[in-house]
Structure 1
Amino acid sequence: MTIKYKVIERGQPGVVGGGEKKFYASSASNGELTLEKLTKRIAQNSTVGGADIRAVLYALVEVMQDGLEEGSIVRLGELGSLRVSISSNGEANKEDVTAHSIKNAKTLFTPGKELKTMLTNLTYEKVV
């Protein structure tokens, strides 16, 4: 599979005025694969109807949110796994680290074996 990329210019992080600027490759998306499109593609490759597929996908999102809120790692078989990661302010003493020290939370996705393999087999094409 070919991934298209564009060239962007970036300055040095944390340097006032951007410091020395360099050019980097950045992936260029070619649109979205929406829930509706996913549903249609899955329906074409299975004996399950679109309404049932959509219902299962919406239920999956709800159940995943519940699991993540409980602190569980959500394992999706060969697809990969999701978990919550937090970042916090550094404190001088262990006792000073409280819930107020936490700055934000995000969801981390770790791809499964087949997705990791797919990433190693990509080719790239520069777009202008």
Structure 2
Amino acid sequence: MPIKYKIVEKAEPGVAGGGVKKWYATAINDGELAIDDLVSQIEKFSALSEADIRGVIIALENVIQEGLANGKIIRLDKLGSFYPSLSSGSSPTQEDFTSSLIKGAKVNYRPGKRINDALKTTTFKKAN
């Protein structure tokens, strides 16, 4: 199934007044897969029950949360990895920097090779 897209006009970033506007493709999400959907699809490829699969997914979520909160990279082999990153203000010197300058943390995801390869072979279809 192809990834659907639409064309949007965007201004040049960092240019006063927007600069020369150009047209770019942007992906249109075609629905979503919620936990219930994932569980029923995984159930087709596994001997595990629905309750077991749901339990593993919830446990994985808990382990990922704890690991990220402790600054760990979570590597899920071919699925990819999750890792924390920070956003902060600056200080004039290293000695003046304090944790109060840290504005927040976020989670980054780096897909594994198989996921990247799947996107390399996908097709595209312009939405009507």
RMSD, aligned α-carbons = 1.5
Q: Distance in 2 between matches of 1:103 and 1:13?
A: 23
Q: What is the CA-CA distance between 1:18 and the residue it aligns to?
A: 3.4
Give the % identical residues. Answer: 44
Deviation sequence 1:97-122 (CA, Å, 0-9, x none): 22121122111111111112112212
Partner residue, 1:23: 23
Summarize the alignment of residues 1-128 of structure 1 with structure 2, pairs less than 5 Å apart: 1-128=1-128
Q: Distance in 2 between matches of 1:71 and 1:79?
A: 19
The TM-score normalised by the length of structure 1 is 0.90
Q: Distance in 2 between matches of 1:8 and 1:45?
A: 39
Q: What is the CA-CA distance between 1:15 and the residue it aligns to?
A: 4.3
The TM-score normalised by the length of structure 2 is 0.90
Deviation sequence 1:24-65 (CA, Å, 0-9, x none): 110011100000000000111211111110111011000110
* Structure 2: 5+ residue stretches without partners: none
Q: Distance in 1 between matches of 2:123 and 2:43?
A: 29
Q: Distance in 1 between matches of 2:48 and 2:112?
A: 25
Q: How many pairs are equivalent?
A: 128
Runs of 4+ deviating beyond 6 Å: none
